[in-house]
């Protein structure tokens, strides 16, 4: 070997080292891109699941139409991911290539072509290390020979059981026609009925072609199974490497045994063999030769695994061909081999990567066969611009001159360029995919953001819902108010009060008719007559007191009916609010409104609290009807002295009758009471006037007026009835008349009051409606009140889906941004690697060569 070759190759390797940093960076960024696309796809899948428009969100939650659907991008991302994943092995391969310190030459070809023989010739190793047999396929495992002056040893890396199962058994199992799972454990494998299946095949006469192929694979499985003991420990043991001190011991690990029946087959457990030895007469450093089993030998899947190895491990491939009698020189199997080589070249020009070598093997090949083969081969290589080398692979001189020498010269000349081409092809593809990823990711991020903005947030949705709720409650309170207004228009007294007055009156009349509680008129006379004789003044006093007490007792009960009437009103309001605000805010039972008030106060909702408070307080603020209306009348049932009044005795309402002369003590006190009530009522009016006019006040005024108007104006009377004598009968007559008059008057006044109370209640509803549902900004208070129970009130809106959709879209936007960034990083590292590689490179021309780059005169361009 001459120096220029050695120096050129060393320089090319040095150049290769210079590519490391950038390619490494590309490799790293590619992994990141790949992961980020996975994440982006995950985010999109998740989001499009949630976002199945119209199904997952109510129209209130989501009102976007005509937007591009996420499914579209999902399909695009899948395609992108597939493409990015497909380029990953090439990036991996190029990364390994720039990290490889050796120039590797591989041999490929059908079995028995002379591959091992050629490598033996170059390395000077004996057949015990690189075995050949005359008739059968020999090489069973890939081995690499490192030109290592001063050494003669080997290292073996072993497969694990799962690796062996997945890379070797599984493809064979499938191709043997088995569709059940490949045996999972060593024991299962050992007991799988491959032998029985093979015998069944053999038992069939005239098995189909596919049956025959299945037999081939079953046979391999049977061999692997029968010889399992010889390598089981290698697969399952703790040692993962074997060091071979003596190269003559290597044979069983790299080759099939010479004897078919030999069950010692440890090659099954071999992942990799590295042989270290000096190649005689070779002064190129860092040279590696790769020996491979015959293509097609182990099944297509295993060929594909070779491809991965070839991409990673081989700079130049020699396709060895040995002419055989009776066979077309370049048949389909040879094309398969060439296709494999083409797929492995990774952007390197075919002429630089593959050489077709015709093994002239003079002991088996006649000159005529050789001439014919060479002619045929020339057609193939010329059409595909491949070098053709012819020589006896067993002959050292011929190999040096006609095969290995030209190969090394080609490497010396082109290796640097080949490295750049290999990197360039990958960079071009990486850049293209990165740009595609950027476009997709940017579009997706933008789309997800825009859509995310259109998913209303919960607060916004709550405001909308709260306003709607406020409107509904307003409508229903307004209906209730209309009903009370109608009662006012129809002058309907409050029925509870009206009924209660009737009942009080009936009871009183019954009581009076029954001798003022004595049982009967007769009984009363019997009781009173002696008393009248003894002390008429005191008796009159006592009887008047009795009557007053009875009047008070019975009519006071009317006040209880006011509570029922107001209770009915409260209930009506509570029912409305409970229906709309749920029992969470307005519980069942008497204290419903109090519970709501407590909640409103807790949330510091001032308007709602004030409205509720006033509504709840109304009965107490209204006070006692009896006190206002009845008491001034009752007080007048008392014997007294006074002037006889004018014709009517009692001034008409509105007349200044209270100032009539002759008022006695009691009357003036009554007047005082009346005035103080009046004054109190006035105060109320003034206060209420500023707060919207509390209706109770109006009644208060009326009550006070009644009290004031009825001031007494005569003496020696019981009210308007003049006492004429001191007899019991006389007292009865006067007392009874006064009593009846008082009952009539109180009845009348209280009924009047009951009529006004209808107005009052109507006004209470009106005021509550106004305050609770119509105060400006009250919808905000509704929103705050309802926020904690929004999921109860509006399950469709607040089931968390809107929030989940918004989050999912944010995730998509974030993942897409991350993908965009990762893709930009790829672009940046590809550009810097490109600049590093800038030179006489024709990336696109190299890339354009695929299978189409191979052409065959007979079968046309390959697909």
Ligand X SMILES: Nc1nc2c(ncn2[C@@H]2O[C@H](COP(=O)(O)OP(=O)(O)OP(=O)(O)O)[C@@H](O)[C@H]2O)c(=O)[nH]1
**CB-wise, 136 or 722, nearer to Mg ion?**
136
Stretch that binds ligand X, among 146-154, 201-209, 241-249, 389-397 (CB under 6 A): 389-397
As measured in angstroms, the least distance from the Cβ of 339 to ligand X is 18
Selected from 139, 227, 417, 561, the binder of ligand X by CB under 6 A is: 139
Regarding 132 and contact with ligand X (CB under 6 A), the answer is yes
Could you tell me which of 634, 712, 641 has the C-alpha nearest to residue 671? 712
User: Residue 471 corresponds to which tokens in the numbers above?
Assistant: 């409107």
As measured in angstroms, the least distance from the Cβ of 15 to ligand X is 33
Element (H, E) at 540: helix 536-585
As measured in angstroms, the least distance from the Cβ of 421 to ligand X is 29
Cα–Cα distance for residue pair 562/575, rounded to 1 Å: 20
Identify residues 518-577 at the interface with Mg ion (CB under 5 A).
Answer: none
112 binds, among ligand X, Mg ion, none (CB under 5 to 8 A by kind): ligand X
**CB-wise, 364 or 774, nearer to ligand X?**
364
CA-to-CA separations, 477 to 70, 564, 770, 772, 853, in angstroms, rounded: 46, 20, 9, 9, 86
Selected from 112, 129, 139, 148, the binder of Mg ion by CB under 5 A is: 139
Regarding 771 and contact with ligand X (CB under 6 A), the answer is no
Please check whether residue 192 is in contact with residue 241, taking contact to mean a CB–CB distance below 8 angstroms: no
Regarding 13 and contact with ligand X (CB under 6 A), the answer is no
Regarding 34 and contact with Mg ion (CB under 5 A), the answer is no
As measured in angstroms, the least distance from the Cβ of 402 to ligand X is 12
- Helix residue ranges per DSSP H, 586-655: 592-602, 606-622, 625-629, 631-634
User: Residue 83 corresponds to which tokens in the numbers above?
Assistant: 């493409």
Q: Report DSSP letters for 235-256, one per residue.
A: HHSS--EEEESSGGG-HHHHB-
Please check whether residue 670 is in contact with residue 636, taking contact to mean a CB–CB distance below 8 angstroms: yes
Stretch that binds ligand X, among 137-145, 219-227, 396-404, 611-619 (CB under 6 A): 137-145
Q: Which residues contact 468 (CB under 8 A, 6 or more apart)?
A: none
Selected from 77, 122, 393, 710, the binder of ligand X by CB under 6 A is: 393
Q: What's the DSSP call for residue 508?
A: H
CB atoms within 10 A of CB 560: 11
Cα–Cα distance for residue pair 441/36, rounded to 1 Å: 10
Regarding 115 and contact with ligand X (CB under 6 A), the answer is yes
As measured in angstroms, the least distance from the Cβ of 159 to Mg ion is 20
**CB-wise, 313 or 766, nearer to ligand X?**
313
Selected from 104, 116, 384, 487, the binder of ligand X by CB under 6 A is: 116
403 binds, among ligand X, Mg ion, none (CB under 5 to 8 A by kind): none
Cα–Cα distance for residue pair 321/61, rounded to 1 Å: 72
23 binds, among ligand X, Mg ion, none (CB under 5 to 8 A by kind): none
As measured in angstroms, the least distance from the Cβ of 163 to ligand X is 23
Number of C-alpha atoms within 13 angstroms, CB side, residue 755? 10
Stretch that binds Mg ion, among 134-142, 404-412, 432-440, 748-756 (CB under 5 A): 134-142
**CB-wise, 89 or 137, nearer to Mg ion?**
137
Q: Which residues contact 711 (CB under 8 A, 6 or more apart)?
A: 657, 658, 660, 663, 667, 668, 670, 671, 674
- Site mask for ligand X (CB under 6 A), range 281-320, x = bound: ------------xx--------------------------
Give the dihedral sign, CA 362/366/372/376: negative
Regarding 117 and contact with ligand X (CB under 6 A), the answer is yes
Selected from 205, 259, 363, 620, the binder of ligand X by CB under 6 A is: 363
Element (H, E) at 155: strand 152-158
Identify residues 62-121 at the interface with Mg ion (CB under 5 A).
Answer: 115-116
Selected from 114, 296, 630, 632, the binder of ligand X by CB under 6 A is: 114
As measured in angstroms, the least distance from the Cβ of 118 to ligand X is 7
User: Residue 315 corresponds to which tokens in the numbers above?
Assistant: 């700079």
As measured in angstroms, the least distance from the Cβ of 404 to ligand X is 14
**CB-wise, 398 or 781, nearer to ligand X?**
398
Q: Which residues contact 775 (CB under 8 A, 6 or more apart)?
A: 607, 611
Selected from 73, 138, 487, 819, the binder of ligand X by CB under 6 A is: 138
If you search the block for the tokens 């002759």, which residue do you land on?
Answer: 662
Selected from 91, 348, 370, 394, the binder of ligand X by CB under 6 A is: 394
Could you tell me which of 118, 95, 76, 75 has the C-alpha nearest to residue 30? 95
Identify residues 84-113 at the interface with ligand X (CB under 6 A).
Answer: 109, 111-113
Backbone φ, ψ for residue 394 (5° rounding): -90, -5
Identify residues 333-362 at the interface with ligand X (CB under 6 A).
Answer: 359, 361
As measured in angstroms, the least distance from the Cβ of 113 to Mg ion is 8
Q: What's the DSSP call for residue 139?
A: B
**How far is Cα of residue 504 from the mean position of the Cα atoms in its chain?**
70
Regarding 250 and contact with ligand X (CB under 6 A), the answer is no
Cα–Cα distance for residue pair 404/393, rounded to 1 Å: 10
Enumerate binding residues for ligand X (CB under 6 A): 109, 111-117, 132-134, 137-139, 293-294, 322, 359, 361, 363, 392-394
Enumerate binding residues for Mg ion (CB under 5 A): 115-116, 138-139
């Amino acid at each position: 070997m001459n120096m220029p070759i050695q120096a050129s190759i060393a320089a090319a390797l040095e150049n290769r080292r210079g590519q490391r940093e950038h390619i490494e960076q590309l490799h790293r960024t590619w992994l990141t891109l790949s992961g980020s696309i996975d994440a982006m796809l995950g985010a999109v899948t998740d989001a499009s699941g949630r976002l199945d428009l119209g199904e997952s969100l109510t129209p209130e939650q989501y009102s976007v139409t005509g937007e591009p659907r996420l499914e579209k991008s999902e399909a695009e991302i899948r395609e992108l991911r597939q493409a990015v994943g497909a380029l990953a092995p090439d990036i991996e391969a190029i990364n390994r290539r720039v990290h490889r310190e050796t120039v590797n030459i591989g041999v490929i070809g059908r079995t028995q072509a002379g591959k091992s023989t050629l490598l033996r010739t170059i390395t000077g190793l004996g057949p015990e290390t690189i075995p050949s047999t005359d008739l059968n396929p020999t090489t069973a495992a890939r081995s690499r020979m490192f030109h290592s002056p001063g050494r003669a040893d080997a290292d073996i890396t072993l497969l694990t059981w799962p690796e062996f199962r997945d890379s070797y058994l599984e493809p064979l199992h499938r191709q043997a026609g088995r569709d059940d799972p490949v045996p999972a454990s060593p024991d299962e494998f050992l007991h799988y009925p491959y032998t029985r299946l093979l015998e069944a095949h053999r038992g069939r006469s005239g098995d189909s072609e596919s049956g025959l192929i299945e037999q081939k694979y079953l046979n391999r499985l049977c061999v692997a199974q029968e010889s399992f003991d010889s390598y089981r420990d290698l697969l399952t043991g703790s040692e993962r490497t074997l060091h071979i001190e003596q190269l003559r011991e290597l044979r069983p690990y790299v080759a099939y045994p010479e004897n078919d029946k030999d069950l010692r087959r440890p090659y099954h457990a071999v992942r990799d063999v590295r042989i270290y030895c000096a190649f005689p007469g070779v002064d190129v450093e860092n040279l590696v030769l790769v020996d491979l089993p015959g293509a097609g030998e182990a099944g297509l899947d295993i060929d594909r695994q070779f491809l991965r190895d070839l991409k990673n491990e081989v700079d130049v491939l020699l396709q060895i061909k040995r002419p055989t009698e009776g066979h077309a020189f370049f048949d389909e199997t040879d094309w398969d081999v060439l296709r494999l080589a083409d797929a492995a070249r990774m952007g390197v020009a075919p002429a630089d990567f593959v050489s077709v070598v015709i093994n002239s093997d003079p002991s088996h090949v006649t000159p005529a066969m050789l001439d014919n083969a060479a002619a045929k081969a020339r057609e193939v290589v010329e059409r595909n611009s491949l070098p053709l080398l012819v020589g006896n692979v067993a002959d050292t001189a011929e190999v040096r001159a006609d095969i290995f020498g030209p190969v090394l010269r080609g490497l010396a000349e082109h290796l640097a360029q080949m490295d750049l081409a290999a990197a360039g092809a990958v960079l071009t593809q990486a850049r293209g995919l990165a740009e595609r990823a950027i476009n997709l990711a940017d579009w997706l991020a933008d789309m997800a953001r825009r859509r995310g903005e259109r998913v209303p947030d919960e607060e916004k949705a709550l405001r909308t819902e709260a306003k709607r709720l406020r409107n509904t409650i307003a409508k229903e309170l307004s209906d209730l108010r209309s009903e009370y207004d109608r009662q006012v228009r129809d002058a309907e007294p409050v029925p509870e009060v009206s009924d209660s007055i009737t009942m009080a009156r009936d009871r009183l009349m019954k009581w009076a008719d029954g001798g003022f509680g004595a049982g009967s008129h007769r009984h009363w006379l019997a009781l009173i007559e002696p008393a009248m004789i003894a002390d008429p003044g005191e008796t009159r006093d006592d009887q008047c007191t009795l009557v007053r007490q009875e009047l008070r007792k019975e009519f006071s009960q009317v006040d209880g009916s006011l509570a029922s009437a107001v209770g009915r009103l409260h209930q009506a309001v509570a029912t409305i609010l409970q229906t709309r605000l749920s029992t969470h805010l307005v519980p069942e039972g008497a204290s419903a409104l109090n519970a709501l008030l407590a909640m409103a106060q807790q949330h510091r909702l001032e308007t709602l609290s004030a409205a509720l408070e006033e509504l709840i307080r109304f009965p107490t603020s209204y006070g006692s009807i009896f006190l206002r209306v009845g008491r001034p009348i009752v007080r007048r049932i008392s014997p007294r002295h006074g002037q006889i009044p004018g014709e009517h005795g009692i001034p008409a309402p509105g007349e200044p009758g209270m100032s009539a002369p002759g008022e006695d003590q009691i009357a003036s006190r009554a007047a005082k009471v009346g005035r103080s009530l009046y004054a109190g009522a006035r105060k109320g009016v003034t206060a209420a006037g500023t707060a919207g006019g509390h209706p109770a006040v109006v009644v208060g005024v009326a009550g006070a007026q009644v009290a004031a108007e009825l001031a007494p104006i005569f003496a020696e009377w019981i009210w308007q009835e003049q006492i004429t004598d001191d007899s019991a009968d006389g007292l009865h007559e006067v007392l009874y008349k006064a009593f009846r008059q008082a009952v009539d008057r109180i009845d009348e006044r209280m009924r009047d009051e009951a009529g006004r109370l209808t107005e009052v209640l109507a006004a209470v509803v009106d005021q509550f409606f106004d305050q609770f549902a119509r105060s400006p900004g009250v919808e905000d208070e509704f929103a705050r009140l309802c926020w904690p129970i929004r999921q109860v009130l509006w399950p469709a809106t607040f089931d968390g889906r809107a929030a989940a959709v918004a989050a999912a879209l944010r995730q998509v936007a974030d993942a897409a941004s991350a993908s965009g960034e990762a893709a930009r990083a790829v672009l940046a590292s590809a550009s810097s690697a490109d600049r590093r590689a800038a030179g006489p490179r024709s990336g696109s021309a190299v890339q354009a060569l695929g299978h189409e780059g191979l052409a065959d005169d007979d079968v046309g361009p390959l697909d």
